[in-house]
Structure 1
Amino acid sequence: MTFSWTPHRFSGGALALDVANSVVLRSDPARRIDRFAEPATMDAFPAGANRHGAERTLFGPLEPVDASARAGLVALREAVDRHFRAEVQGAGTPALLADLLEAIATVLRRSGDRPQALDTATARSALLLLTRPEPDRLKICPNCHWLFLDRSRNRSRAWCDMAVCGNRAKASRHYRRNREEPRP
């Protein structure tokens, strides 16, 4: 099956969140898809982020990680997801923060002279998220359960991507409403 990194895949609003969202259906072990499980798909992620990511100008043109750094990127991705998901749900703990900071430090220590490598840029993006002034802008999409930043003026954004998850939710609601109401 061919996979491409489309604009929807970068609806998190921050590189660290887009990387965390590379696991589809994270909470359903039977249907879970890890887009980074295939090295070629992981290697293609930076090109997609350079085209579609919200922070594409912040870190410069991103480059794939070295083969030796793949495990570190996956560990960072999981720490980002655990920490920020718990924060949104009001269950953040000092231990989750420590795990995230440890994963960030590990990546940054190994990065050497590759500041545009995906793992390094993801670590820097996670640090920026930790220092954000408005933590209530971080949300979880009720449809796909991805993390995203709500940058709307009135903080009313409900879905990670209106064109995908918003439409699916509205279509589902329409279907249920029409199915439940008897027609005259």
Structure 2
Amino acid sequence: MTFSWTPHRFSGGALALDVANSVVLRGDPDRRIDRFADPAIMDAFPAGADRHGAEHARFGPLEAVSEDGRAGLIALREAIDRHFRAEVRGHGTPALLADLLEAIAATLRRSGNRPRALDTATARSALLLLAHPEPERLKICPNCHWLFLDRSRNRSRAWCDMAVCGNRAKASRHYHRNREETRP
């Protein structure tokens, strides 16, 4: 099966959230897919983020993570997901924040003079989300459960991507509504 980093995969609205969303079906252990489990797909992520990511202008052209930095990027990704997912649900804790800050610090120490490396840019993106909190804008998609920033004027965006998750939800409602109407 071939895989490509399409615009939908960068619907989080921030690099840190797009990296966190590299795990598909995170809450379903039987169907969970970690896109970064394949080093080639992880290495292709920066080019996709440059083309489709909301923060591509902020960080410039991104570079792949060094081989010895891969585990650190995964640790950072998981800390980002745990912290911001808990914040959306109203269960944020100082311990989760501390874990995220420790993962950010470790990443920045490890990355050294590689400001364009994916792990460095992801850490900086997470810091920006922490420094300029807009908790009412951070949401979890009810369809795919990805984290995303709602940048709509009235903060009414319901899905990470209307063209994918929004359409799936509407099609499902339509199917169930028609099925109920046709039952004898």
Q: TM-score, normalised by structure 1?
A: 0.98
Q: What runs of 5+ residues in structure 1 fail to find an aligned partner?
A: none
Q: Residue 52 of structure 1 corresponds to which residue in structure 2?
A: 52
Query: Counterparts in 2 of 1:64-75, with a 5 A limit?
Result: 64-75=64-75
How many Å separate the matches in 2 of 1:58 and 1:23?
24
Partner of 2:175: 175
Write the letter of the residue equivalent to 2:175.
Answer: Y
CA displacement, residues 36-55 of structure 1 (integer Å, 9 cap, x when unaligned): 00000000000000000000
Unaligned regions of 5+ residues in structure 2, if any?
none
User: Match of 1:62?
Assistant: 62
* Structure 1 residues 108-127: aligned runs within 5 Å: 108-127=108-127
Q: Deviations over 1:47-105 (max 9, x none)?
A: 00000000000011000000000000000000000000000000000000000000000
Task: Give the structure 1 partner of residue 84 of structure 2.
Answer: 84
Residue 34 in structure 1 maps to residue 29 in structure 2: no
SS of the aligned residue for 2:132 comes to coil
SS class of match (2:55)? coil
**Cα root mean square deviation, aligned:** 1.0
Displaced runs of 4 or more, over 6 A: none
State the 1:183 CA deviation. 7.5
Residue type of the alignment partner of 2:126: A
Deviation at 1:182, TM superposition (A): 2.9
One-letter amino acid matched to 1:44 = A
**For residue 115 of structure 2, what is the amino acid of its counterpart?**
P
- Kindly indicate whether residue 23 of structure 2 is the aligned counterpart of residue 12 of structure 1: no
Q: CA deviation at 1:133?
A: 4.0
More helix by share: 2
Whole-angstrom distance in 1 between the partners of 2:149 and 2:19:
13
How many residue pairs were aligned?
A: 184
Following superposition, the deviation at residue 134 of structure 1 comes to 1.9
